[in-house]
Amino acid sequence: MNRRQLLQSFSGVAATTILTPELAQAAAQLSQGAASGINWQIAFADLDADLARAPMKRIHGRAPEGLAGSLYRNGPGKFHRPGGSVDHWFDGDGLMRAFRVSDGAATLEARFIDTPKRRVETAANAVVQPGFGTAGKPGAQVRNADDTNAGNISVMSMGGELWALWEAGSPIAMDPKDLSTKGIKTLREDLVHMPYLAHPRRDPGGDVWSLGLSGSQAIVWRVSAEGALKGADMVKLPMASYVHDFTATKRHLILILQPWVQDRMVMPYSDSFTWRPEMGTKVLVLDKADLTKRRIYELPAFFAFHYGSAWEETDGTLRFDGCLTGDSRFATANGKAFMKGTYVPEPASILTLVTLRPDGRVTLEPTGVTAEFPRVDGRRSGDTRRYTIHATATAPNTPLFHGVATYDWKSGKSDTYDFGATHLMEEAVFVARPGGSDELDGWLMAPSVNIKAKATELHVFDARRVAAGPICTWRSEHLLPVSLHGVFVKA
Ligand SMILES: [Fe+2]
């Protein structure tokens, strides 16, 4: 596939679709809110305008000595417009949040990412651009993939900028000081608008690897710590799978190709995929030093959005963990249900260890622990490690997670704190304690949406004593919609 074909595959627009009536959405919201008794829908409500920097109130404990910097978090923040709304949670406008901590105090601000999509839809007063789970409407303006780029999944710190990341278009550069949008990041002129996944893998202290997916082809991006392109190579994949995340050891890239397979190109994008468990899951291992050196492992069918970092043992055995489910239903069913104010109970994603042995044998070892948003102590990225940090704890009739945990792969024990169903917990990010070097010597920073208080909170945990509860909590006067992924940048 050449570059033109790759671009075309990301820029198709289906002109026709059926709008979900706003009134039906409102009615569904009312009925579901009553069913759970917890008005979790407020965590998926629109933020109508940027939020200027404002102090948060410390409501518990005190900030640990040495914790200073900014937690940037991205996620969809606006879903409804008078002339038509998104059909899927993943299609809301990207909203960058900044929790800034210094001298024991915290502030919160949020600013929408100034994307071509948001400009078109603001002018139209309606959601018209196609997306992951939202079809294009009359008035859509799509010349390339970045015209549909919501920039709403994650964020990384790169060469003094923030890069807001989506997955089917370019990174979007932002100023970390005021969250203003600088614009689409073009890594090389002939690669403009090429896809760049939202979950890059960083070699400790070194290069950043990412992928861009198009059917059974992927571009492998290699970027220096300063943001300069060092490589962009096409690789052929054994399956045209949906890929949201991948993993890596020091020496290898590990692409997990699940059997949610693209068998057509239509909009919305998620309608291009079919769940085909009979195909199983394939894992493609690439040598970072020579991308033509590859190995494919065959695994049973599973679905996952996210993986922890991988490591290699002395005999060549590769291990990584993921949050695995039996099928792809979250990607389609609940992402749409949330926008209607409803929730379809679904099997939990389970933290599972995947082992790939040099002789080709594979094993999947589920821990039984409910988990999503896996993170690690970044100093161990790509290296042998003992712990995984993750969101956990679910409740009937409410979506997402209510607690945070670490899992110890050596002892098989969890260290968990559960806020209960009135908090929707966001991904926890590890921050190393200055001067420390042991794994998990530091803090977990995790916001939550406090449903009862109708407020966004920021919690700090001792990463080695999670069950003891937060050592500090700040509360904002405002409620921001629940976010997806973040990064901490030290002051
Ligand atoms: Fe993600």
Cβ atoms 426, 483 nearer than 8 A: yes
pLDDT of 26 strictly over 70: no
Average of per-residue pLDDT across 387-414: 95
What residue has token string 């059926």?
18
Please provide the size of the chain in residues. Answer: 491
Give me the CATH code for the 3-377 domain, please.
2.115.10
Cα of 373 to ligand 1 centre, how many Å? 7
The pTM is what?
Answer: 0.92
Q: What is the dihedral of CA 63, 407, 349, 95, to 10 degrees?
A: 20
Percent of the chain with pLDDT over 90: 88
Cα of 427 to ligand 1 centre, how many Å? 10
Confidence of residue 37 (pLDDT cuts 50, 70, 90): confident
Residue with the bigger pLDDT between 67 and 10: it is 67
pLDDT of 23 strictly over 70: no
Weakest mean pLDDT among 24-33, 108-117, 247-256, 383-392: 24-33
pLDDT of 264 strictly over 90: yes
DSSP 448-459: EEETTTTEEEEE
Residue with the bigger pLDDT between 15 and 235: it is 235
Residues ≥6 apart with Cβ < 8 Å to 378? 202, 204, 430, 432
pLDDT of 24 strictly over 80: no
Cα of 467 to ligand 1 centre, how many Å? 25
d(CA 487, CA 326): 29
Cα of 103 to ligand 1 centre, how many Å? 31
pLDDT digits (tens, 9 = 90+) for 42-57: 999 999 999 999 999 9
Average of per-residue pLDDT across 154-180: 97
Percent of the chain with pLDDT over 70: 93
pLDDT digits (tens, 9 = 90+) for 426-469: 999 999 999 999 999 999 999 999 999 999 999 999 999 999 99
Cα of 75 to ligand 1 centre, how many Å? 10
Cα of 153 to ligand 1 centre, how many Å? 6
Confidence of residue 19 (pLDDT cuts 50, 70, 90): very low
**Average pLDDT across the chain, whole number:** 92
Cα of 27 to ligand 1 centre, how many Å? 30
All structural domains of the chain with their residue ranges: 3-377
